[in-house]
Structure 1
């Protein structure tokens, strides 16, 4: 029986705009996404029969058929062969309901493991197409790096890499399930929109200050009550302690700040982790090359 283990990588949304609701019920997105060095470990092991998912480090609510199982079935359907016996083990470090794409990153890692085990000649584009059938962020989590994401998030364009920097991530004690945030968006005034095109141009110039100045997320406009207060308080702390810019990632509630280097970020990281246990000091990760 063969076993393969891979590290996953979460993401932050440097800019997130929602263009409108589509006829299929999804929303058209316009985003700049960035891979970060916070992730889980995914191990796939061949077994005699069946599919089993084991989650370590965190208890997650799961439907009768997990995204990992859906991804596995979609992968083997594309190969035209039955699903073999498999056990998938997740060692969780990325918090759930945080806006960091941890679930999508785990699904992407399962697909990478299956490709390596069963179809190493499969191209990146083929694997991304399979991933997009399972979840909107999975294609990006397979590619990594810095990307413009459109459509549901599955239409990707590589952008110039984010210059070297550091992120402090801070998640309040509550979670915000993505469907609940999308339900608030329709027919709402989302206020000023992030300058996605300006951010892409700043990345092309390698101008970290201009990137940080253009951080933005329209989901922040639909936060209410204690949610809005907690996100705003963390942003104020990050900016007061030297962040070049700060914003909420994805559907939240994790807030991130950009710093020129890890040394500049350590002070506020220490302050925030004393109050918010799910605080992380991480770095940007460049595009994955294994699927080229």
Structure 2
């Protein structure tokens, strides 16, 4: 038996960091949504008690460093599953890009193995398992659009009638999320993006207000460390994207585009700056 799961990328329409918590995590407020750029996982039962990860991508770990591997091991240990699994990961989402590719893979593994092994784990419980793997995993379990608070694991669903194109561009660098958060100083933020304003804009389908409300307090830190991210933002805006923002801790920059007639020009223009450019739709 084989089970297939899609693992879409996420973007942050707004990301605010409020303070550092006693447990070492940061208290965040984020509005996240998913785009139609996705990894795909094929999961099949193995008779022996082992986890095997394979992929066509030669640049990702295929052992316990892989979040899908960690998800499989967690669900096997927690529910005393003696079967093994072979997970083939068809990788399309750029790595270390601020798009939660690894987290989405882990979430897809949790969903798929729940079906493969007929465990009947409720969604809420899958999200709790996901929180043990990473802050973005609970959101990726259900996807859609959501307000995330706490360290990212507390989710409130947002009704999403918004439809538009999204241009994603990742410069040829990797950004350390730990380094960005380590250099971030919440007290230095003069203006915080509004989660409530973004949610209202999304739920009313006000595309202009969504673009106006885009904000990410981590941008200043990443742009100082990697000026090419700022250059990419400027290029995307000059090419005509309606709203532009860095996703997560970067380095991927995304542009929201309402008119399809603009998409090819922006896409082709950005290919002069970096190779990894994608034109996709919001998953509503």
Normalising by the smaller structure, the TM-score range is over 0.9
Find the counterpart in structure 2 of residue 44 from structure 1.
43
* Equivalent residues of 1:199, 1:214 under 8 A apart: yes
Deviation for aligned residue 1:121: 3.2
Structure 2, gaps ≥5 residues long:
none
* Equivalent residues of 1:72, 1:83 under 8 A apart: no
Alignment map for 1:192-203 (pairs within 5 Å): 192-203=191-202
1:236 counterpart = 2:243: no
Find the counterpart in structure 2 of residue 148 from structure 1.
147
Deviation for aligned residue 1:39: 0.9
Find the counterpart in structure 1 of residue 248 from structure 2.
250
**TM norm structure 2:** 0.93
Find the counterpart in structure 1 of residue 264 from structure 2.
266
Task: Classify 1:71/1:269 alpha carbon distance in 2 versus 1 (closer, same or farther; 3 Å).
Answer: same
Q: Distance in 1 between matches of 2:40 and 2:217?
A: 31
Alignment map for 1:83-232 (pairs within 5 Å): 83-119=82-118, 121-186=120-185, 189-225=188-224, 227=226, 229-232=227-230
* Equivalent residues of 2:54, 2:87 under 8 A apart: yes
Aligned-partner SS, 2:5 = strand
Deviation for aligned residue 1:17: 0.5
Find the counterpart in structure 2 of residue 75 from structure 1.
75
Deviation for aligned residue 1:224: 4.8
Query: Aligned pair count?
Result: 283
Deviation for aligned residue 1:245: 1.1
* Equivalent residues of 2:62, 2:69 under 8 A apart: no
Deviation for aligned residue 1:62: 6.5
Q: Distance in 1 between matches of 2:179 and 2:60?
A: 17
Deviations 1:225-273 (A, max 9, x none): 561x212222122222221211100010000011103332221111112
Task: Classify 1:186/1:61 alpha carbon distance in 2 versus 1 (closer, same or farther; 3 Å).
Answer: farther
Task: Classify 1:278/1:184 alpha carbon distance in 2 versus 1 (closer, same or farther; 3 Å).
Answer: same
* Equivalent residues of 2:51, 2:72 under 8 A apart: no
Find the counterpart in structure 1 of residue 283 from structure 2.
285
Q: Distance in 1 between matches of 2:61 and 2:188?
A: 32
Between Structure 1 and Structure 2, the one with more strand by share is: 2
* Equivalent residues of 1:213, 1:244 under 8 A apart: no
Two-structure CA RMSD over aligned residues (Å): 1.8
Aligned-partner SS, 1:36 = strand
Find the counterpart in structure 1 of residue 53 from structure 2.
53
Deviations 1:89-119 (A, max 9, x none): 1111111110000000111111111111123
Q: Distance in 1 between matches of 2:120 and 2:186?
A: 46
Deviations 1:130-150 (A, max 9, x none): 111211111111111111001
Q: Distance in 2 between matches of 1:139 and 1:13?
A: 15
Find the counterpart in structure 2 of residue 289 from structure 1.
none
